[in-house]
Amino acid sequence: MAGSSFGKVFRITTWGESHGPAVGVVIDGCPAGFGLEEADIQVMLDRRKPGQGKYSTARAEEDRVRILSGVFEGKTTGTPISLMIENRDHRSADYSAIRDVYRPGHADYTYDEKYGIRDYRGGGRASGRETACRVAAGAVAEKLLKELGVTCKVRPVMIGGIPAEEEKTVRELLDAAVREGDSVGGTAECIISGVPAGLGEPVFDKADARLAAAVMSIGAVKGVEIGDGYAAAGSRGSENNDALRADEAGRISKLTNHSGGILGGITDGSDIIIRAAFKPTPSIAKTQESINSEHENVSLSITGRHDPVTVYRGMVVMEAMAALTILDMMLENMSAQAENVIRFYGNRK
Amino acid sequence: MAGSSFGKVFRITTWGESHGPAVGVVIDGCPAGFGLEEADIQVMLDRRKPGQGKYSTARAEEDRVRILSGVFEGKTTGTPISLMIENRDHRSADYSAIRDVYRPGHADYTYDEKYGIRDYRGGGRASGRETACRVAAGAVAEKLLKELGVTCKVRPVMIGGIPAEEEKTVRELLDAAVREGDSVGGTAECIISGVPAGLGEPVFDKADARLAAAVMSIGAVKGVEIGDGYAAAGSRGSENNDALRADEAGRISKLTNHSGGILGGITDGSDIIIRAAFKPTPSIAKTQESINSEHENVSLSITGRHDPVTVYRGMVVMEAMAALTILDMMLENMSAQAENVIRFYGNRK
Amino acid sequence: MAGSSFGKVFRITTWGESHGPAVGVVIDGCPAGFGLEEADIQVMLDRRKPGQGKYSTARAEEDRVRILSGVFEGKTTGTPISLMIENRDHRSADYSAIRDVYRPGHADYTYDEKYGIRDYRGGGRASGRETACRVAAGAVAEKLLKELGVTCKVRPVMIGGIPAEEEKTVRELLDAAVREGDSVGGTAECIISGVPAGLGEPVFDKADARLAAAVMSIGAVKGVEIGDGYAAAGSRGSENNDALRADEAGRISKLTNHSGGILGGITDGSDIIIRAAFKPTPSIAKTQESINSEHENVSLSITGRHDPVTVYRGMVVMEAMAALTILDMMLENMSAQAENVIRFYGNRK
Amino acid sequence: MAGSSFGKVFRITTWGESHGPAVGVVIDGCPAGFGLEEADIQVMLDRRKPGQGKYSTARAEEDRVRILSGVFEGKTTGTPISLMIENRDHRSADYSAIRDVYRPGHADYTYDEKYGIRDYRGGGRASGRETACRVAAGAVAEKLLKELGVTCKVRPVMIGGIPAEEEKTVRELLDAAVREGDSVGGTAECIISGVPAGLGEPVFDKADARLAAAVMSIGAVKGVEIGDGYAAAGSRGSENNDALRADEAGRISKLTNHSGGILGGITDGSDIIIRAAFKPTPSIAKTQESINSEHENVSLSITGRHDPVTVYRGMVVMEAMAALTILDMMLENMSAQAENVIRFYGNRK
């Protein structure tokens, strides 16, 4: 119940602090018998790796994933898949500067309030490092989704208020932010294609609700939209409703996709469209006002190298969370119709 | 797993179709011993009632809630609270016109794809009528929250692109929409005050993630924000980080509340701020293009009286969902610290 | 979390006290599209009905089940099935005699300790009446199981230490118990046939563990065995291991079934065998020593008509719980193999 | 959902195969702030260690537990505690002899039926090795339980039909079993003292149901009893009901404890008594008849050193499972009364 698990059928549990010996994830409920090796996971982990883009953290993080269980002779066995990523050089740093200070925009104060204790080394459990485990698990989900004809793609939309495709302007903005010891926010979009109609559950577990929770559980995300999202709020029913049309062969298509592939919480077979708003990186060099654990006012400047924008790394996590959610709903949906259950057990032998 | 339940400790399960004999909700895990009577629930149900505002549906819906279990001599007993609201005149209407047609913007097509069968009378389970049960359960949650010093308030922000406080302009817009057989969308905001710091769980069950799922599970909602939300994406770290300050007595306050009361997924003691984008009512009189269950192209115009905007009724549901989530997190949080557990069982006798 | 729900995919939630207006159950996750009507459920409820056997309570209980949702035009729709059974004459009795007394062998004292409040009318939530809802839900499960080739049968084994088939001796024993204001215990056995191999999950959700929980959740049950159970504890490995044999066509059979159809927590395709020990009815006319809510010593004699033995009615509940568990595991098992998932979504269009 | 997790608030997830690189467990929901170090866990792991008794397996298993997360400066932080135990020499053995054979009494056949694939090295996930993780997690639970005044004790009751305290006779029996290439079963009892009244939930999550599931999830267990268990089935109500008495100070006691400390599924404050029946070790040297994965009949003799009885090691696992269950129910129970919730949040600041 303490919230380190995600998913119902394809269920993951992550563990680990940024500066402990390792971080990891256990996947329970992964279907048996499909090919999986460490390289499948490493590819996606590398996409999240710092230093990928000029503006991602340059810390010497090298994430090597190990499969500790659940895979035998190159195939999943149906039993829990335990993945572990060791943290390098996790003992060396000196954290005395932030030990007693509550960094603004961070979880330092809230963890102390919740638990009465906090691993103050680099964010501990609240660190973005935890998301490496989500990406590792997401890679497993995407491998199986691919065999089911489903693909996930993510892209940055806006960086600090500038369209992400205007790369030169974005670069100037980020250079300026770094120079000023500041950071910027942004938005990203994830599109999932090939999703069958019928996924999601009618009421509280609507596909939109589950995707929103998945994406909003990423530390930096403060807003989520499905389909037209906020634009729909300014639209008219006659514009926002997607017309359904059938061709001569009876094949159905939607003339538009304002709904983002979900109607009444259930997928309609068109692309799922999710967008997220990422807040600016809270770790900035600029001097900030805050308090310490003695409740005294202090000034602080956060040193070290931090991404000036969380979108590039965060959107890989967003893709992983979307993939985990879609796969989970696909597995969950298999028992929705009695006819399919009867066919499954009838055909079984 | 089929998603008609919500919450972990304070857990509700809703049931019922818009045109069946009744709708209802079972609340499991409600703490024992606080005063509850039908009138406590009726008050909040009445706020959601059609005909409250000029633009809410004028159908003769009269929601009388009955408490069937879990309350004894005016107090909750800790056992499941079953609430039921009968549907009036549910047998009378003629649904042959929409029986085989997939209404655009509705769940008709997706339910048929998921289940191979659908209760076609007025939306069945996908109808907004289901939300009456959420409001009833939310009223129970708010009653207890009040004793815990927590209050929830909701207000419309934008209606069809116009600030909600410009009532005259909004009225003209809605009148025009009705005349044109069309509808508009809008946004609403919910603020929860008095929430203790420390609620929410670090990773997947962050307070933001759970609130986002809660609100996005409302049929008409297509976007959710916490705190500054999308505005944070265009902001700088130095602006978006909320400075913490202590007064001479060591009392902590935040100078701003861009984070909406949540840091790292854990509440920080300031107001929780949630905003949602509602799509326009999909049921409109204007002629629309769609298909029928034979996959033939058809034109349709949806008759009957429908709200030209979903925000006014939807925001009461939003408040209910927020209240259910906050109370659930409060109950869940009681075992976070060993010291509190030891004190609880030590003090017990 | 408060435990009024059972099952993972086919999930039921019961509510109601023995002397409130009604009891009921919500089934969430029932596959859509199979035929269901009230009569299907009534048949099984009638098997549990008092007055069925000479020694079942003769109180004028008449259980009429109503389907309030989830069934449309005679078929399940995949949405929650709400079943309700009204309690007759629930207001009439005078409970002042037991209001403040803790009946030995009952939950009176423990409910007061847990909740600080208790519905003292006839047991409230702790009454056997709650099991009517399990039987109603079990009837739905058995209806679908039948279409999957699975059947459940239950029989009494021992009544008050006497083999249940020695009916005359059993009758004399029960007559004597009634005369003496006393009651007896007994055992029952449930056999489930046609169960496919492969159900259950390896570790904590072993088929045996889930069945044990299901049966032990019946108030009167104090012991559960799978297969040889306690006899296996006195057996040798060479005797207790079931030899597997194949005939010339490669069809597999077990020469014995000491394991009760489950190996390593997973069903092996042979009959599932469960046995349960029921304690004697705690409500007896004989004078007993106890205390009241003021913690004063009192003597009490429980009047009214009570079954002298719980086995006959309890075993119908046992069958219902077994059916609910088996069906749930069948639905859960559908996603165990990647190949089946791929075939399911490949075949879907 | 795939069943590698146990518990609701104090929730554990185990992973790992007997012959993979390691086995492990993640504990989510452990209260923050109590002292924990590897030595606390090692002590209990050592009690389970082979070679402890003459008749426990003499394989060179040396279980060193490592804490990988969730503990900082010697205290739990409230975040997931990841424990790992490496498997020694896991690559060396030759499993060709059992690779294609279904060992009687083992899960070989059922895993292949469920998953279509199986890690055939020494049982894989179905091996007793998995239980090391339960014992490690149980040690953490017992550490906290001790601070709550709760202690768990386990003892063997019968070994191969002989009272366990007749050590000489038992030794002769086991010597004979080893000589004959055979094994014996037995029973064990666990008593938990200091448990507060009020734990457990009324209906499906009765304390008895949860303990039964916990203990029955141990591979070798085929029967579970609470309190008098099967003896209650042969008893009379007047004998089996435990009389409650109050002394002059109003302190309550039960004159007997036939109920095993649980009434109506809720603990009554007296000792919890659980007994379990363990089947004989299925791995025996004696020649057995079985089939192979080609469905051909074969004879086999299982070589290697195996315990002639599972009780001695199994009962340590039983104690761990009981401790995990009791602690979980204690944490869950904290929100049962509104008054306690109000006091908790009122006292908080």
Q: Does D11 touch chain A (CB under 8 A)?
A: yes
Q: Give the A:B interface size as CB pairs under 8 Å.
A: 400
Q: Which residues contact residue A65 at a Cβ distance below 8 angstroms, ignoring those fewer than 6 apart? A: A38, A41, A42, A45, A83, A84, A85, A136
Query: Residue C62 has what pLDDT?
Result: 73
Tokens in use for C229? 């159970």
The band of A194, judged by pLDDT with boundaries at 50, 70 and 90, is: very high
CB contact under 8 A, A79 and C148: no
Query: Residue C314 has what pLDDT?
Result: 97
Query: Residue C213 has what pLDDT?
Result: 98
Rounded to an integer, the average pLDDT of B273-279 is: 98
Name the residue among B107, B109, B277 with its Cβ closest to that of A230.
B277
CB C309 within 8 A of CB C280: yes
CB contact under 8 A, B70 and C23: no
Residue D99: pLDDT over 90:
no
Residues of B within 8 A of C26 (CB-CB) are 4, 13, 15, 24, 26
Query: Residue D54 has what pLDDT?
Result: 55
Q: Tell me what the pLDDT averaged over chain D comes to.
A: 92
Scan residues 148-177 of A and list those with Cβ closer than 8 Å to B: 158, 160-161, 177
Query: Residue C349 has what pLDDT?
Result: 44
**Three-class SS string for chain A?**
CCCCEECCCCEEEEECCCCCCEEEEEEECCCECCECCHHHHHHHHHHHCCCCCCCCCCCCCCCCEEECCCEECCEECCCCEEEEEECCCCCCCCCHHHHCECCCCCCHHHHHHHHCCCCCCCCHHHCHHHHHHHHHHHHHHHHHHHHCCCEEEEEEEEECCEECCCHHHHHHHHHHHHHCCCCECEEEEEEEECCCCCCCCCCCCCHHHHHHHHHHCCCCEEEEEECCCHHHHCCEHHHHCCCEEECCCCCEEECCCCCCCEECCEECCCCEEEEEEECCCCCCCCCEEEEECCCCEEEECCCCCCCCECHHHHHHHHHHHHHHHHHHHHHHHHHCEHHHHHHHHHHCC
Name the residue among B219, B228, B297 with its Cβ closest to that of A245.
B297
Query: Residue B215 has what pLDDT?
Result: 98
CA distance A36 to chain C (A): 12
Query: Residue D97 has what pLDDT?
Result: 73
Write out pLDDT tens, residues A247-257: 998 898 999 99
User: In chain B, how long is the greatest CA-to-CA distance?
Assistant: 73
CA distance A176 to chain B (A): 12
The band of A349, judged by pLDDT with boundaries at 50, 70 and 90, is: very low
CA distance D283 to chain C (A): 8
Residue bearing the bigger pLDDT, B89 or D192: D192
The band of A93, judged by pLDDT with boundaries at 50, 70 and 90, is: low
Residues of D within 8 A of B78 (CB-CB) are 336-337
The band of D349, judged by pLDDT with boundaries at 50, 70 and 90, is: very low
CB contact under 8 A, B222 and A212: no
CB C223 within 8 A of CB C178: no
Name the residue among A228, A240, A280 with its Cβ closest to that of B240.
A280
Model ipTM value: 0.95
**Residue D43 CB coordination number (10 Å):** 12
Q: Tell me what the pLDDT averaged over chain A comes to.
A: 92
CA distance D29 to chain B (A): 7
CB contact under 8 A, C148 and A331: no
Query: Residue A347 has what pLDDT?
Result: 56
Q: Does B109 touch chain A (CB under 8 A)?
A: yes
Comparing alpha-carbon positions, the chain C residue that sits nearest to D280 is C237
What is the rounded distance in angstroms from the CA atom of residue A158 to the CA atom of residue C209?
52
Comparing alpha-carbon positions, the chain A residue that sits nearest to C338 is A31
CB contact under 8 A, D105 and C237: yes
What is the rounded distance in angstroms from the CA atom of residue C209 to the CA atom of residue C226?
9
CB contact under 8 A, C79 and B125: yes
Rounded to an integer, the average pLDDT of A249-276 is: 96
CA distance D83 to chain C (A): 17
CA distance A73 to chain B (A): 32
CB contact under 8 A, B280 and A221: no
Write out pLDDT tens, residues A109-148: 999 999 999 888 878 888 889 999 999 999 999 999 999 9
Name the residue among A16, A28, A81 with its Cβ closest to that of D68.
A16
CA distance C115 to chain B (A): 6
CB contact under 8 A, C263 and D109: yes
Which of B182, B205, B222, B259 should be substituted to probe chain A, the one whose Cβ sees the most A Cβ atoms within 10 Å? B222
CB D48 within 8 A of CB D135: yes
The band of B347, judged by pLDDT with boundaries at 50, 70 and 90, is: low
Q: Which domains can be identified in chain D, with CATH numbers?
A: 5-346 (3.60.150.10)
Write out pLDDT tens, residues B129-188: 999 999 999 999 999 999 999 999 999 999 999 999 999 999 999 999 999 999 999 999
Residue A227: pLDDT over 60:
yes
Q: Does D74 touch chain A (CB under 8 A)?
A: no
Rounded to an integer, the average pLDDT of A12-22 is: 95
Comparing alpha-carbon positions, the chain D residue that sits nearest to A348 is D113
Query: Residue B349 has what pLDDT?
Result: 44
Mean pLDDT by 10 residues, chain C (349 residues): 93 95 97 97 88 52 89 97 88 72 93 93 87 97 97 97 97 95 97 97 97 97 98 97 92 94 97 98 94 92 87 97 98 96 79
Residue D57: pLDDT over 80:
no
Name the residue among A4, A66, A76 with its Cβ closest to that of D80.
A4
Query: Residue D213 has what pLDDT?
Result: 98
The pTM of the full predicted model, rounded to 2 decimals, is 0.97
CB C118 within 8 A of CB C112: yes
CA distance B51 to chain D (A): 35
SS3 B219: coil
What is the rounded distance in angstroms from the CA atom of residue D215 to the CA atom of residue D276?
7
Tokens in use for A228? 């037209």
Query: Residue B89 has what pLDDT?
Result: 60
Residue D148: pLDDT over 90:
yes
Residue D62: pLDDT over 90:
no
Handedness of CA D319, D323, D325, D326 (dihedral sign): positive
Cα angle for residues C296, C300, C304 (degrees, 5° grid): 145
